[in-house]
Amino acid sequence: MRRTGIEFNRHDYEYDVYSLVKAFIPEEEVVSFYSGESPAGEFDRLLRVEYGDDRILCVIEEQGRETLREQVKLTCPEDRFATKNLLKQTVYRMFSGLTGRTLPWGTLTGIRPTKLAMHPLEEGRSREEIAANLRETYFLSEKKTDLAIDIAVRERKILEGMDYENGYSLYVGIPFCPSICLYCSFGSHPLKKWRKRVDEYLDCLVRELDFTAGHFSDKKLQTVYIGGGTPTSLTAAQLDRVLETVATRFPMDEVREFTVEAGRPDTITEEKLAVIRRYPVSRISINPQTMNQETLDLVGRGHTVQEIVEAFHMARDLGFDNINMDLIVGLPGEGYGEVAHTLEQIRALGPDSLTVHSLALKRATRLHLFRDQYQEISFANSQEIMSLCEQTAAEMGMSPYYLYRQKNMAGNFENVGYAKVDKAGIYNILIMEEKQSIIACGAGGSTKFVLDRGNRIERVENVKSVEHYLARIDEMIERKRAGKEKS
């Protein structure tokens, strides 16, 4: 594997530059270090990044010989935002020239590109002005510029009437799954090992929910999301307990959306769906990820394509009129043909919304190890695949309504949520645009207090491990209390 080193003279922006370089050369190993350090091994290419009082200097050396140099004058060095942008623009130009590649999202390495369109929209700027800024400052492609602005416009409309100051959303985490998928980065716990302690977990969760309901009773609950893990991996009685706690302890009269992420079809039964129907749940998600059996087996999903179809029809028959389906593109061994097959099967089912994720190869996943072991299996994603998803969603009457990116995504693309009119997931937008506080209960829950109209965010994390959550539930509750006081 080719190696590229990045040598920095200062401890700023290292991660931004590293992510940008990695996006240009995902197939290479990229190592960053600081001047004076001696990283192990040789580099095929070295990027030296120097910036100081009045200039940015970037130099590329290959086989010890300087091949490219760019220097940019800093007119306002104390403006960190401008310095970072100029630095990323410089690195972008150099690597684009070197590799002959362009990146659809330009210099953007963050996960919330629509925020860059949302803010100026709120300030009343025109579409043309916003588009010009996205293209000139961040080098976004025309397609991604349009996508970011379209989504921001749609999000604003969907969020109309939400109370950002006095409203909040509730997340409830059920961190168990029947088996752990190869690509899982959520830290879910296998039921086989944890089954005996699920009730103990629910005891703690109910305590945390009780506290939250009381402590935030001065605020208006507006959306609820029960996610995981796989909430339907609970038994019908356990699921009933969670839903009953939420529906009776919290005021439901202002709730605009209540989602249960049913998730894995192998956990969905008529009995559990009937339990969900007894509560004011407005939206569920049944997640195939792919409709190709071979891939499902390969990534350890542990269910069949037939089970997906049956779970979907069962939910429709029981009256669920807002069903989301999640797909992943870039799964091992899948290319255009496999994704096209999945999309045709999904079209035949006719969900109300579709969320298309680009596979993110996170280091902490088993898939990362798998890729190293099975290098002959491809992990492909392309603009053609993304466009096919977009086109199929449009043919199903859906428009893109939220978008986010992750690090190490296959092909450096994005995750996009598509929905039919009035079927968009409001919670999804809130979490991405950081407009409203989200109080999260359960292991791995990450509470976000959104303050000063979104200009300040305070986070309160729950521990991820169920073991620690059970042992430290008082501390989790205390953290929430302290977080609210601080905010």
Q: Provide the H-helix boundaries in 318-365.
A: 336-349
Q: Which of 8, 105, 186, 401 binds ligand SF4 (CB under 6 A)?
A: 186
Helix or strand run (H / E) with residue 3: strand 3-8
Q: Which of 264, 357, 435, 448 binds ligand SF4 (CB under 6 A)?
A: 264
Instruction: Write the Ramachandran bin of 416: left for phi over 0, alpha for psi from -120 to 50, otherwise beta.
Output: beta
Stretch that binds ligand SF4, among 117-125, 180-188, 343-351, 414-422 (CB under 6 A): 180-188
Query: Rg of the Cα trace of the chain?
Result: 23
Q: Which of 17, 152, 177, 242 binds ligand SF4 (CB under 6 A)?
A: 177
Which amino acid, one-letter code, is at 297? D
Count of residues of this chain found to bind ligand SF4 when the rule CB under 6 A is applied:
11
Tell me the helices (H) and strands (E) count for the chain, helix number first.
17, 18
CB of 228 to ligand SF4, least distance (A): 6
Q: Which of 117, 180, 239, 346 binds ligand SF4 (CB under 6 A)?
A: 180
Stretch that binds ligand SF4, among 160-168, 176-184, 244-252, 463-471 (CB under 6 A): 176-184
Stretch that binds ligand SF4, among 112-120, 183-191, 422-430, 454-462 (CB under 6 A): 183-191
- Please tell me the number of Cα atoms within 13 Å of 68 on its side-chain side: 19
Q: Which of 5, 113, 173, 229 binds ligand SF4 (CB under 6 A)?
A: 229
- Contact status: 330 vs ligand SF4 (CB under 6 A): no
DSSP codes joined into one string, 59-128: EEEETTEEEEEEEEE-S-TT-HHHHHHHHHHHHHHHHHHHH----TTTT--SS-TTHHHHHHHHTT--HH
- Contact status: 444 vs ligand SF4 (CB under 6 A): no
Stretch that binds ligand SF4, among 42-50, 87-95, 164-172, 227-235 (CB under 6 A): 227-235
In this structure, is the dihedral angle defined by the CA atoms of residues 442, 440, 272 and 184, taken in order, positive or negative? negative
Question: Quick one: 264 or 272, whose CB is closer to ligand SF4?
Answer: 264
CB of 365 to ligand SF4, least distance (A): 9
CA dist 126 and 233 (Å) reads 47
Which amino acid, one-letter code, is at 457? I
CA neighbor of 174 nearest in space, from 244, 223, 229? 229
Question: Quick one: 229 or 445, whose CB is closer to ligand SF4?
Answer: 229
- Contact status: 325 vs ligand SF4 (CB under 6 A): no
Stretch that binds ligand SF4, among 21-29, 101-109, 121-129, 228-236 (CB under 6 A): 228-236
CB of 428 to ligand SF4, least distance (A): 16
CA neighbor of 314 nearest in space, from 349, 352, 354? 349
- Contact status: 267 vs ligand SF4 (CB under 6 A): no
- Contact status: 263 vs ligand SF4 (CB under 6 A): yes
CB of 174 to ligand SF4, least distance (A): 10
Exposure b/e, 385-406, CB count within 10 A at least 16 = b: bbebbbebbeebebbbbbbbbb
The end-to-end CA distance of the chain, in Å, is 48
Give backbone dihedrals phi and psi of 285, rounded to 5 degrees, phi first. -125, 130
- Contact status: 184 vs ligand SF4 (CB under 6 A): yes
Question: Quick one: 19 or 230, whose CB is closer to ligand SF4?
Answer: 230
The gap from C-alpha 379 to its chain's centroid, in whole angstroms, comes to: 19
Question: Quick one: 266 or 390, whose CB is closer to ligand SF4?
Answer: 266
Stretch that binds ligand SF4, among 118-126, 128-136, 184-192, 397-405 (CB under 6 A): 184-192
CA dist 129 and 144 (Å) reads 15
CA dist 47 and 25 (Å) reads 13
Q: Which of 4, 89, 169, 188 binds ligand SF4 (CB under 6 A)?
A: 188
Are 185 and 129 a contacting pair, CB within 8 Å? no
Stretch that binds ligand SF4, among 83-91, 182-190, 211-219, 339-347 (CB under 6 A): 182-190
CB of 200 to ligand SF4, least distance (A): 20
The residues that touch ligand SF4, with contacts defined as CB under 6 A, are 177, 180-181, 184, 186, 188, 228-230, 263-264
